[in-house]
Structure 1
């Protein structure tokens, strides 16, 4: 039988990880842009 709960917890974990990685990337880009503006 397909374990829906396990699948959703897995999806949620991967999605959260993806968001965290995306935030870090975006923050790095923003920092780079701010740095370019400052210097």
Structure 2
């Protein structure tokens, strides 16, 4: 493959991983930071 193809492939993988992992990470972070509150305040 050409370097450009590899570069775009890496961007695609990182983008998909971020889209999948970000909500899970954010949910865990909010639960850890605010364990006894329903809303994020």
Larger relative contact order (C-alpha < 8 A, sep ≥ 6)? 2
Q: Would the TM-score normalized by the shorter structure come out above 0.5?
A: yes
What TM bracket, shorter-length normalisation?
0.5 to 0.7
TM-score scaled by length of structure 2: 0.58
TM-score normalised by the chain length of structure 1: 0.60
For residue 25 of structure 1, what is the aligned residue in structure 2? 24
Aligned counterparts of 1:3 and 1:28: Cα–Cα separation in 2:
38
Moved over 4 A (4+): none
* 2:14 alignment partner in structure 1: 15
- Corresponding residue pairs, total: 35
Q: Which has the higher helix share?
A: 1
